[in-house]
């Protein structure tokens, strides 16, 4: 793992930190590969239940490293896209903990996660048009799905950012905190990690993939996500633990 991406584990949660604070964690090819590798680790390790993605030094990510871009570098992973995560994510949940700027590709990284916690001074935006570029890491696709079209268009065409409180009002993020975002992200992660892993993966998959399911075929599309969950050992353990008034012991099977 590169020093541009730091990993730590605690109680089933993988913390992934972009570690380029002097460059406001601007994304490089090396950092993108590091995040992609961390996502592979999350996916394959049974003891890991979810992840937190954050940035070092009071910034989340200021987008693509423009110096690298001028040298012909694109900070993308072949499978995961920009930052190693924008076109593929693991089945397990990911929380973005945002301090300072989450701009351009940084905003797209946050949107690629499943939940977003932000410090009150965080800023979100896709200012690519100000540099003659396009928010092609998912921002122009995700924002019209998450916001009214007029608001998504304004963010895309003006390139102006919005603050954390406005992002919360619009439903783009989950929490705003006075302190470091990672502290509240850890609270959310603990709440997630306490739940059944098969149920978590199925729930995330349905929420993410059901955008285009026709209403009359929801059960047809949903069944492959859930049928193994209802027949699993974990489902029986969850019911048994509830009846016995104890904490479930999940097996992930």
Question: Which residues are annotated as catalytic?
Answer: 108, 128
The answer to whether residues 86 and 112 touch, using CB atoms and an 8 Å cutoff, is yes
Task: Dig out the tokens for 124 from the structure.
Answer: 């979100």
10 Å CB burial of residue 135 (0-12, 13-18, 19+) is buried
Calculated CA dihedral for residues 214, 220, 222, 227, nearest 10 degrees = 170
Return the number of other C-beta atoms located less than 10 Å from residue 238's C-beta. Answer: 18
d(CA 231, CA 225): 12
Report CA torsion sign: 169, 151, 65, 89: positive
Report CA torsion sign: 65, 69, 75, 76: positive
Beta partners for 9? 14
Helices (H) and strands (E) in the chain, counts: 10, 11
Closest CA to 117 of 57, 55, 204: 55
String of DSSP letters for 204-216: HHHHHHGGG--GG
Return the number of other C-beta atoms located less than 10 Å from residue 78's C-beta. Answer: 11
């Amino acid at each position: 793992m590169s020093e541009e991406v730091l990993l730590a584990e605690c109680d089933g949660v993988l913390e992934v930190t972009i570690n380029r604070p002097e460059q406001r964690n601007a994304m490089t090819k090396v950092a993108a590969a590091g995040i992609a590798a961390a996502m592979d680790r999350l996916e394959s390790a049974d003891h890991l239940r979810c992840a937190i993605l954050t940035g070092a030094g009071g910034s989340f990510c200021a987008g693509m490293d423009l110096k690298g871009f001028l040298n012909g570098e694109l900070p993308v992973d072949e499978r995961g896209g920009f930052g190693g995560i924008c076109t593929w994510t693991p089945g397990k949940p990911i929380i973005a903990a945002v301090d300072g700027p989450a701009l351009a590709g940084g905003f797209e990284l946050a949107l690629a996660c499943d939940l977003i916690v932000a410090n009150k001074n965080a800023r979100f935006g896709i200012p690519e048009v100000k540099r003659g570029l396009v928010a092609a890491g998912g921002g122009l696709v995700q924002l019209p799905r998450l916001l009214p079209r007029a608001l998504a268009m304004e963010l895309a065409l003006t390139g102006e950012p919005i603050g954390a409180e406005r992002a919360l009002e619009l439903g783009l993020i989950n929490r705003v905190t006075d302190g470091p975002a990672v502290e509240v992200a850890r609270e959310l992660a603990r709440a997630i990690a306490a739940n059944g892993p098969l149920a978590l993966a199925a729930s995330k998959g349905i929420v993410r993939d059901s955008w285009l399911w026709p209403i009359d075929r929801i059960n047809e599309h949903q069944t492959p996500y859930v049928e193994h969950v209802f027949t699993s050992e974990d489902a029986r353990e969850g019911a048994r633990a509830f009846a016995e008034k104890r904490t479930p012991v999940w097996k992930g099977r």
